[in-house]
Amino acid sequence: MAAEFPGTYWTDYELIDSGEGEKLERFGSQILSRPEPKALWGKGLSQREWNSLTSVRFRPGAGFGRAGKEDSGTWERRGGTVDRWYIRYPGSQKGLDFSLRLGLTAFKHVGVFPEQAPNWEYIYSRTSSLVAAAKETAASSGKPFEAPKVLNLFAYTGAASLAARAAGADVTHLDSVRQVVSWGSDNAARSGMQGIHWVVEDAMKFVAREIRRGHQYQGIMLDPPAYGHGPDGEKWKLDECLFSLMKDVSKLLSPSKGSFLILNLYSNGYSPLLGETVLREAFGPGEYKLSSGELALRDRLGKVLPLSIFVRAEF
């Protein structure tokens, strides 16, 4: 099992400190203080230092943090703060470069999960290899080039979609919330990217329909929440739906050489080993390799904050 972190080249983001159920982060010029249940240790900075650095603090409402529930809260702002702003992700690979709009939402989120940066790097690398192979095949066969198809499920505001598109893939971006799909479209426009297919739909319904149509993808990314609802009120509960979804996704992923899948999970109690077992049982025997680990952030004082687990399948 591996632990992966954003690279130090990403100067628009920094985890400054963590502890006592909070994290202090810098996104561009603004420093945010937000709840973080996994920060079980003490803060490295004094509360006075923490307060003096904070531009905006999220204050949760009653009931925040209950199982299956994330009540809205409010942001306490100091002078000079803004509700929306942009940061840039430069990437460690040539060609991987995009912009992300941040916003102060009612649920403590800001439109980006920075610990996901290693997945963006992986997506770009794997997709670039697929694109290169497709171009070589087209050149040798005399047939038109067909970009590899990549699907991003539970795609949120689309950083993973942008990483795949930057590499040259034909990308389908799906989320059940229209507002975050629009947010992703804005990120693409700001990054100078076109050609992404934006879909507002329930993930399980979309996957089932794509299977019936005989469609397949060379890359699939999934970042399912613990709880959620589709655009028509469909209920999603990770514990009950994940394995069924992964069995369907196994039919949607092309078995061709170079295909890949990333499953990312934030739910407490899930481990990389559990994620590997889910994928292995869903896909069955075959010629593929699984790897897994945790995505984490490291603050200025060296404290490591693990935030999600990932499982990657390579064919």
What is the spatial distance between Cα 27 and Cα 14, in angstroms, rounded to a whole number?
7
Neighbours of 167 (CB within 10 A): 25
Residue 295, helix vs strand vs coil: strand
What residues have CB less than 8 Å from 298, skipping those under 6 apart? 5, 15, 304, 305
Helix/strand/coil (H/E/C) assignment for every residue in 51-112: HHHCCEEEEECCCCCCCCCCCCEEEEECCCCCCEEEEEECCCCCCCCEEEEEECCCCCCCCC
Average pLDDT rounded to a whole number, residues 78-99? 94
pLDDT at 178: 96
* Distances 188 to 168, 175, 184 between C-alpha atoms, Å: 14, 15, 6
Q: How far apart are the first and last CA of the chain?
A: 19
pLDDT at 232: 79
Tell me: pLDDT of 63 over 70: no
Domains and CATH numbers, the chain: 2-103 (2.60.40.1180), 114-314 (3.40.50.150)
Tell me: pLDDT of 209 over 90: yes
Tell me: pLDDT of 53 over 60: yes
pLDDT at 62: 58
- Computed over every residue of the chain, the mean pLDDT equals 94
* Distances 38 to 23, 31, 42, 248, 313 between C-alpha atoms, Å: 9, 19, 12, 32, 27
What is the spatial distance between Cα 163 and Cα 125, in angstroms, rounded to a whole number?
9
Indicate the pLDDT class of residue 68, thresholds 50, 70 and 90: very low
Q: Between 107 and 122, whose confidence is greater?
A: 122
pLDDT at 67: 46
Residue 23, helix vs strand vs coil: strand
pLDDT at 267: 79
Tell me: pLDDT of 64 over 70: no
Measured in whole angstroms, the distance separating CA 238 from the mean position of its chain's CA atoms is 16
pLDDT at 117: 98
Pairing of strands 149-153, 170-175: parallel
DSSP calls for 252-263: HB--STT-EEEE
Taking only the tens place, the pLDDT of each residue in 233-251 is 778 789 899 999 999 999 9
pLDDT at 182: 98
Instruction: Look up residue 194 and give its amino acid.
Output: Q
